[in-house]
Chains A and B, each alone.
Chain A
Amino acid sequence: MAMTSHLRTLKWSTWLGWQVESNWANPWLFTLYLVVKPVTGSLMLVCMFLAADMAADTAFGRGVPPEFLPYIYVSNACYALVGAVMFGMSSVVIADRESYRMLKYIFISPAEFQTYFLGRGFAKAMEGIGGAIITLLAGLALPGISKSLTFANIDAGWLLAYLVVGFVMLWAAGMVLASAMLNMSRSSMFLSEGIAGVIYFLSGVVFPLAILPSWLKPVSVCLPTTYWLEGMRRSILGPPPSDSPLGQSPIAGWSNFELLLAMIVSTLVLTTAAQFFYRWSVRKAWRNGKIEETSGM
């Protein structure tokens, strides 16, 4: 009975999330929106690579190692999923409470509150996965990327494993953020953007971790997103060349199994913490009247 209730909530909240995300425009405009945003974001990194390559060649007589381009491109495409799920789930609290003013009705309805967030996260994940796939496909048109982005390099088994564990990790991280948002008002977007920035920086999305200052490397290695991005890059591009600067990251020497194990352990810790934090946050928000509070932001 309880399971049916969860599944029903999941189904309808996913549907609702998809409608909110997509029905503001006709399907063609929405598709354009899905394509343009992630592709241009990744093309900016391509332009940065090309500009650095030209300048380094002129200044020092040697360009940037070519494996950098697929590294940052694939990394950035995968990071889109982090943004979509984690920050999509947390922004639901703000949108439903402040903008649509529906959060209190969801709370008092028979719908399962936590499952509702999961459903909204699913809708965002569909958008994120769509964006990531489109970005990767667009990469096939770029010579520096298409050489590395081949079926021969893709390890489908590991890719599936990283995707499954990764989604649980992103859901748990999204729940932590959404729970925190329940008790915050004006500063809530700051928290969400701040975490996004920290993850983008410390997970080595656009640079190898070897270049980070030594005091920051342990922090970076504690983040499950670091393992996830490394795993995703490996399963899509294969390992970097042995003499490449990309192969000098602290976790570059780990096997896929070790990487997945680290990810599972850190995800379990994160999920447990997220559940405790969620229960505590909901109770606090309910007692302090935060579930219906609007701050006019």
Chain B
Amino acid sequence: MLVSQIYNDPIGHWVVVVVAMALLLFVVLTATAYTVWFERVALGRIQRRPGPNRVGPWGLMQLAADGVKLAFKESFVPASTDKVLYVVAPAIAVAAAFLAWVVIPIGLWDYYGPKITYWIADVNVGILIVFAVSALNVYAIVIGGYASNNKYSLLGGLRSAAQLISYEMALGLSLVPTFMIVGSLRLRDMVEYTFHLGPYNGPIPLIILTPIGFVIYVIAAVAETNRAPFDLPEAEQELIGGFLTEYSGLKFVMYYLAEYVNIITVSALAAILFFGGWYLWIVPPVLAFLLKVILFLFFYIWVRGTFPRLRYDMLMRLGWKVLLPLAMLNVVGTAVILVALS
């Protein structure tokens, strides 16, 4: 194949990778824009409003309009802020959010014709990279809150740090049983995990084996992405806008973008880790993956449209006293079962 020849050439390899990265960046950015649109329409419907419907057909160009508006806003930096950190913080947020997509496998086409892999890197510690990179989001929020030189921003940033650290533990532990069952940290292996039981011999969605882990993952993921009902870092009613208070224009866009990319990332991870990634009966791989991610995004929006925000002590109690012990028990329980079965 011509493409595989280019790919095996040392220079051509980089060309292919760079093109793939540009393509991925474009796809994720577009997906983000339409996630925002989808969220606004879905929330609107839940509240019996139509949502955005003025710009373009069904309001589909709303995000383009918002983007243009925000891009042309004055780039304002408040006085007596830490100028460097103030600009670096949103950049960290966006970079961390996009980096995770390097290792997320979107699909694999190997039925007929050339074999196509829809990912940039197939790393054998993929899930660790995703977590390592998404943990950087804490720095973006804390640094942004600190650099703003504003008590509400600082409070929001500190709240966020405490929240993200608390729930990261539960999030990580909720996936340990999955790793133990699959025996790999490679995201592709999670999707391609095959199950042998009687006549059945093929891929299964891992949620059948790790239901508790899934429930913990979903709750912790909502908290990790600072979404309602865990959106305390930017609780408008108490903190004005939390760490976002002093940000406007493109720097605000970067935080906003990072938030939505993170939502798509955790949705994609949920699809990969629990619902068999790109496998769905006869649905083509990438389409199946997309479908699962969209369902997860809807679930997120649905939860946002339903539950009120938790009080701060409730949030901490839920994280440390409920989710974390449960996740640990889940790990121990899975280990016992695995040893008993082997």
Do A and B share a complex? no
Interface residues of B (CB under 8 A from A): none
Interface residues of A (CB under 8 A from B): none
